[in-house]
Structure 1
Amino acid sequence: MDPFVFSTTSQIVFRPGASAEIGSLVKKRLGDRILFVTDPGLRKLGLCNAALASLAEAGIVATLYDSVEADPSVETVHAATEAAKTADATGVIGFGGGSSLDVAKVVALLCGSGEDIDRAWGVGNAKGPRLPLVLVPTTAGTGSEVTPVSIITVGGDEKRGVSSPVILPDLAVLDPDLTLGLPAHITAATGIDAMVHAIEAYASRNSNNNPLSKMLAKQALQLLGQNIERAVVDGKDREARGAMLLGSMLAGQAFANSPVAAVHALAYPIGGTFHIPHGLSNALVLPHVLRFNAPDAAATYAEIAADAFPDLASEQSSRGRCAAFIERLAGLAAKLGLQSRLRDVGIGEEHLAGMARDAMKQTRLLVNNPRDVNEADALSIYKAAW
């Protein structure tokens, strides 16, 4: 067996209603002055109210930073960091989707270590220490609450990552009740995002791909594949919502240790340049990247096909099961009401060459792909997706 390292969040609490008890959960971890990082939409919906009331009841002074946007910018990170410093924060809570959690991670790092963010970009460059950190996801997609990665937008359209075990949180609080109000299209896009995490983690060419990540990826696909339609059709289905949140977290643990690859690399220019939500960006290129990879990865994809779609177990040959798996994924986005072509989200054919060039910048992801991808390959994949 090849050597590997597996890192994850120190403690995970999974319980309906847990976010309304967060004061008692974090008091000993975070101290009595915290920065609460979230987005304006969640504030407007009142989704943070119970958590903020719980913090106040526990005697914790919470400074609210609620200006996180989708695809958060480095300017947002700096503004939130200044808010934390002004409040003399002893800890940080990230509450929301992947954007809020990613900002909270970097704020905890910059406040705890005084590091320059420009020195922290990349893999293993953030040294720490960081402030104590708790993350509370409100979507079932990114798995950010258990990953050592934060993705931030720089210069308007370039996505950069901080990747280091230092930014894994001390506690992740998974409360399925927080996801009950998610609109169907967000449920669908974030759910497919989580499935992509599991698929790419399982098939990753990274030297740290390991038995634990593979096991978690398979379990994640079982939960996600068998519950995503239920969660989209009936957003109040607590059982389906809980399964999606748990599946997202398991997929996060998998790809945190066996990193993702070309689907994400090709999705980043779609999100960074055209501001398409990350989950939808992944869904738009997913089947086309898998078809490209199939000559080298058919057997691997066949191993997980029936985890996501149990009826595919009847397909005997690896290549047949792989092909059926890809076609099922290709139809899933449309079945769930999402756009399925790049042209459907306003991307013109004239943009594809520039996107292919930009995708080549994602070298930390492309090296993990089961099949080598060059710029011409990326352009062909984009054309197929257009």
Structure 2
Amino acid sequence: MSVFTFATVPTIIAGPGSIARLGDAAGARLGARVAVISDDGLVRAGLVEPALAALRAGGAEVSLYTGVVADPPEAIVEAAVAQARAFGATGVLGIGGGSSLDVAKLVALLCRSEEQLADIYGVGKVQGQRLPLVLVPTTAGTGSEVTPIAIITTGEHEKKGVVSPVLLPDIALLDAALTLGLPPAVTAATGIDAMVHAIEAFTSASPNNNPVSRSLAKEALRLLGAHIETAVLQGTDLEARQAMLIGSMLAGQAFANAPVAAVHALAYPIGGRYHVPHGLSNSLVLPHVLRFNAPACSAAYAELAPCLFAHLGGSTPEQRLTGFIDGLSALPGRLNLPQRLRDVGIPRDKLSLLADDAMEQTRLLVNNPRPVSRADALAIYEAAW
């Protein structure tokens, strides 16, 4: 029997239209002055206004920061923190994709703890406490609403993570109505990102890999596999959208406790250097990392296969393994996503730089079930090119 720790969000509110309950559910917890962290596109799309209205109806004053961008740099965090401090925030609401939620986590922490961002990168470096925090995802992919992780771009290309249980929010609210306007490509890429979270959590070499995470990962894959094509191709299907949100959340809970590995380690440099969205970066390297890991993960991949591809349930273990990898290799094409690194503008002569960058992701590579050398990383990029 292994010894493990499993931590997650204390309260989850889910269901279409549940954003209207925000004031009643979270108003007292967030206090009288709420810093809302989001991005300009969501505000212009009208997706943030229901949250603002619910908070104001509960008597709260609101300060809205809309400067979050994909792969947010440190300057964005610092600007959002400065605005929240000047406002005298008593609580923080993050609404948006993973970038907005990650920034909101750090705003809640830095406004109260007074720590410096540079001092808390890594695992377990946070010393202080945070302001009350509520997170509302508008994509079904990152699972950031239930993870103790915030990823920030440092310098020109590198991404670093702040990892601490302190970053887990008080409430995660999942309302599929907020995801109905997601374009098909974003829905597809973020959905595959969630699948990667589940797969890597299930096979993580972390000493904290545990039966709770593995069970959540399998259920996440069942939901994601059954609904991703409907969510992508029939984007107004509210049932499919809500199932994707729940699947993404379950995968987030899984990898929050059994951390991800080489797919993410190789995806981060793609996003950092070429600004490829994170979910798509994962999708581009996923099949090739699966093939690399297969000698160490054949039984695990065979176990996961029927969760994602129900038709493999009656197959032999060998058939399930092959079907799992082949099915995930074909999925991006079925969802009309780019499938090769060259399709997103990455030159072949830059793959060596990507391999160098990937080897810096030691926090992630240590969790991979098969050791990854620089030569291995380069070979994976070559296969993906």
- Cross-structure match for 1:62: 62
**What SS does the aligned partner of 1:105 have?**
helix
**What SS does the aligned partner of 1:153 have?**
strand
Written as runs of structure 1 = structure 2, the 5 A alignment for 1:278-357 is 278-316=278-316, 318-357=317-356
State the shift of 1:94 in Å.
0.3
- Cross-structure match for 2:234: 234
State the shift of 1:112 in Å.
1.2
- Cross-structure match for 1:373: 372
**What SS does the aligned partner of 2:369 have?**
coil
- Cross-structure match for 1:40: 40
Written as runs of structure 1 = structure 2, the 5 A alignment for 1:240-251 is 240-251=240-251
- C-alpha separation in 2, matches of 1:25 and 1:324: 44
State the shift of 1:57 in Å.
1.1
State the shift of 1:7 in Å.
0.4
TM-score (norm 1): 0.99
- How many residues align structurally? 385
Q: Which amino acid aligns with 1:291?
A: R
State the shift of 1:128 in Å.
2.0
- C-alpha separation in 1, matches of 2:170 and 2:383: 42
State the shift of 1:324 in Å.
1.3
Q: Which amino acid aligns with 2:88?
A: D
Q: Which amino acid aligns with 2:360?
A: K
Q: Aligned-residue CA RMSD in angstroms?
A: 0.7
Percent identical among aligned pairs is 60
**What SS does the aligned partner of 1:3 have?**
coil
TM-score (norm 2): 0.99
- Cross-structure match for 1:276: 276
- C-alpha separation in 2, matches of 1:338 and 1:178: 23
Stretches of 4+ aligned residues off by more than 3 angstroms: none
Written as runs of structure 1 = structure 2, the 5 A alignment for 1:1-386 is 1-316=1-316, 318-386=317-385
**What SS does the aligned partner of 1:314 have?**
coil
- C-alpha separation in 2, matches of 1:295 and 1:26: 47
- C-alpha separation in 2, matches of 1:127 and 1:137: 27
**What SS does the aligned partner of 1:226 have?**
helix
Deviations 1:198-252 (A, max 9, x none): 0000000100000000000000000000100010111111111110000000000
- C-alpha separation in 2, matches of 1:234 and 1:70: 25
State the shift of 1:192 in Å.
0.2
State the shift of 1:384 in Å.
0.1
Q: Which amino acid aligns with 1:222?
A: R
- C-alpha separation in 1, matches of 2:43 and 2:308: 34
State the shift of 1:24 in Å.
1.6
**What SS does the aligned partner of 2:62 have?**
strand
- For structure 2, the 5+ residue unaligned runs are none
Deviations 1:283-304 (A, max 9, x none): 0000000000001111111110
- C-alpha separation in 1, matches of 2:32 and 2:26: 9
- C-alpha separation in 2, matches of 1:357 and 1:51: 43
- C-alpha separation in 2, matches of 1:320 and 1:296: 16
State the shift of 1:319 in Å.
3.0
- C-alpha separation in 2, matches of 1:338 and 1:184: 9
State the shift of 1:314 in Å.
2.4
